[in-house]
Amino acid sequence: MSSIDKRGETVAWVGFGWSVVGAIILAVLAISTYNTSSGVWAAGFQLLGAAGIWLLTVIMLHQKRLMAEERLEIAELERQRAEKLGGAQTIFDEEDLDQMERLASGRRLRTIERYLAPTFALLIAAYHAAVGLTFLPWFWGFPPLAEHQDAPVEKAMMLAVFCGGIAFVNFVLARYALGMSRLKDWQVMCAGGNFSFGASAVSLAVAISLLCANSGLGGVEIWVAWIIGGLLVWLAIETIINFILDIYRPRVPGQRQRPFYDSRLFGVFSEPSGIVRSVANTIDYQFGFKVSETWFYKLLGRAIVPLLFVQIIVIFALTCIVVVPPGHKAVIEHLGPWGSDMRAASPGIHLAWFWPIDRATMIPVERIQRMELGHEERLVEYGDGIQKPILWTKAHYKKEHKLLVGDRTVSEGAAAEGTEVPVNLLSMSVPVQWHVKSDDAEVIRFYSQHEDVEAIVESLAYRELTRYAAQADILDLLGEGGIDAAETLHANIQAACDEAGVDGKGLGVKIVHVGIGGVHPPSEEEVASTYEQVVSAFEQRDATIKRAEGDAAREKVGSAGLNWKAIYDVIASEDRAREAGSSDLRRQTETVENALRRQVGGAAREMVAEADARALGRVFREKSAAERYAIQTAAYEAAPSTYTLRTYLRVLIVGLQDVHKYVVAMDDSSKLIYEYDLKPPQGIDILGAELRAGEMERDAR
């Protein structure tokens, strides 16, 4: 092979271009079928990741080709120099020439291998992890598929044909690239070839799942998409682990160095030497020496068949030991469907024939199993972390079953008149709890029934519920009759289970509890709102009555106190005596006055107390004024001038108490001149006063 051969680089470009084109084709097909196929999207994303590996391969091959061309140019220059100098030695020795070579293309290649390749490969690993997580059901969903996750795949046959064709092209490209990677200069092509082989396997799996979806098995296609998502996550983890191991892996001169971003998982199945040899090569490469040539590995290779045989014997021997945990019983069936011997085993350790002669099935006899009738998946709404109340006008569950319930009162009148009997629709939640009976015969009977006994119990419970609702009264179910209805249903369901076996006997189950709750009219129609309007009207009426009674009691107690009844009675008696013109009116009036003064409370008591206080205050004021006048008259008669002067001075004291007074001592008061300054007083200028004082002191000096 010529050192400047570009075939490897050309194949790498073809692999990159085809991967991008194939990813675009799958994306267009997925969009054109209304995003109903998650497997096509997953295959497209995986093929786009392979395009990144091919692009990294192109970069590596291109740089190696440049280094080979530079090596030829140096060799040609050395040959020409030797011809001109007649074979004389150059001033540079071979080490210097190697150093010059490393400082050119070789240096750039090492930079790419140390920095660009790891960074680019880790980015591809992050892409694989992010895309893989979007397709796993435990994480966030891929947005184009979120709205059509339950829809059937559109045009599944057409998608299967395209995926099969893409798988074939990827397989041919992978085989050609892996064949070229056996040569030393093109060894880096093994990474792209392995990823193309993985894309071929993924596309083939998607094509098979689409054929299953076309046959009505839509779940296979979803499972394949989940597996591809897990595969992408594993590729990311594998790349990171190989990157860490590649840092500490020893470099052996002359040994092939496998890129860390090359998938070992794909390489196990894509190598033509087989899976066993691929495992051996992988182990040799990871440990850095020929582990497959050690005596232990060779001994293991010779003894692998006997070891597997012994392991199979041990596994079958372990099936002879049956361990029954507490709360369970085991049904040990001999010779499977061809035999008729079955026995029940209690909790503990038991011996049996190895599988498949004897098969043991664990039956939980103490576990309480629960089912709820009348609805499907519950719709729970939360606000601020608290469950919102369940209302009649809102759906409680994803789907609620409606029961036909009669109205006994209206039905009797309609039957008497010969008209149609009206029926009502009700929805309810009926929890049913049951467990398997613990007797050995009942356990075997339970095991001998249909595989899904729970479905049989549920069907029987629905049948008995429908029968009971048809003959029940709607008011009983909405009111106090729910407890009696639950007891009746309990007995009816137990009786039905005791007669529903394959041999006309029981199923081997015991009904533990049956309850009735959440009885309400259908929320889809206006029935629930009409029920709520009637109930709301009753509640508003009762609330208005209670509010009026409260206001009346508050007014009575507030106006007359706690003894308002007695006060009202004597006042009513007085009014009747006054209207009748009775001679007992005076006595009734005295009784009312006595009651108002001694027994009344509240606002009336306050008014009586205020009136008494005003009367007593006026009496005492008038009496005080009379006594003061008599004292003043006696003082005036005893000393008229003195009394007059004292009165005059008292007036001055009282009148001039809060008035500013100025005393001016002068002989002639007519010479006094009054000047009024109505301006507001000025503030004290302390700084100015200090300055003026300083000036006056300087002038004095």
pLDDT, residue 274, reads 47
pLDDT of 256: 60
- H or E segment and range at residue 427: strand 423-436
Global pTM value: 0.43
What burial class does residue 167 get, using C-beta atoms within 10 Å of its C-beta: 0-12 exposed, 13-18 middle, 19+ buried?
buried
Least confident of 90-99, 359-368, 574-583, 616-625: 90-99
Q: Answer yes or no: are the C-beta atoms of 126 and 236 closer than 8 Å.
A: yes
Higher pLDDT, 324 or 184: 324
- Write the pLDDT tens digit of every residue in 4-36: 678 888 888 898 998 899 889 988 888 887 767
Q: For residue 86, what pLDDT is reported?
A: 56
Q: How confident is the model at residue 361 (pLDDT cuts 50, 70, 90)?
A: confident
Greater pLDDT, 486 or 694: 486
Query: What are the pLDDT digits (tens) for 94-144?
Result: 444 454 445 456 677 777 777 787 888 888 888 888 888 888 876 656 655
Q: Give the mean model confidence (pLDDT) for residues 295-302.
A: 65
More confident residue, 41 or 82: 41
Q: 323-332, 368-377, 445-454 — which one is most confidently predicted on average?
A: 323-332
The average pLDDT across 516-533 equals: 72
Beta bridge partners of 330: 345, 362
Kindly give the interhelix angle for 7-32 and 189-214, rounded to the nearest 10 degrees: 20
Distance CA 298, CA 305 (A): 13
- From residue 606, how far is each of 596, 600, 609 by CA, in Å? 10, 9, 5
Looking at residue 664, what is its pLDDT? 73
The mean pLDDT value for 208-230 works out to 82
Token pair in block for residue 132 = 């893989």
Please tell me which residue, 678 or 296, carries the higher pLDDT value: 678
Dihedral over alpha carbons 115, 121, 122, 124 (to 10 degrees)? 140
Cis amide linkage into residue 325, ω under 30° from 0: no
pLDDT band at 290 (very low <50, low <70, confident <90, very high): low
Amino acid 100: pLDDT: 42
Q: What is the mean pLDDT of residues 694-700?
A: 77
382-383 and 386-387: which strand pairing? Answer: antiparallel
Residue from 334, 338, 364, 339 nearest 352 by CA: 334
Terminus-to-terminus CA distance in the chain, angstroms? Answer: 123
Give yes or no for residue 51 having a pLDDT over 80: yes
pLDDT at 640 over 50: yes
pLDDT at 444 exceeding the cut of 50: yes
- Is residue 230 pLDDT above 50, yes or no? yes
CA nearest neighbour of 62 among 122, 7, 102: 7
Residue 15, strand partner residues: none
Percent pLDDT > 90 in the chain is 1
Compute the average pLDDT of residues 379-386.
52
Mean pLDDT, the chain, whole residue set: 77
How confident is the model over 505-522, as a mean pLDDT?
A: 82
Rounded Cα distance between 15 and 193, Å, is 8
pLDDT at 588 (0 to 100):
80
pLDDT at residue number 62: 80
pLDDT at residue number 250:
63
- Long-range contacts, 496-501 (Cβ 8 Å, 24+): 496/460, 496/463, 496/464, 497/434, 497/457, 497/460, 500/456, 500/460, 501/445, 501/449
Whether 244 has a pLDDT exceeding 80, the answer reads yes
State residue 273's pLDDT score. Answer: 46
Q: Give the least confident one: 243-252, 377-386, 476-485.
A: 377-386
Compute the average pLDDT of residues 187-209.
87
DSSP, residue by residue, 621-687: HHHHHHHHHHHHHHHHHH-HHHHHHHHHHHHHHHHTTTS-------S-GGG-------SPPPPP-HH
pLDDT of residue 94: 47
- Please state the rounded mean pLDDT for residues 208-217: 80
Q: How far apart are CA 507 and CA 5, in angstroms?
A: 79
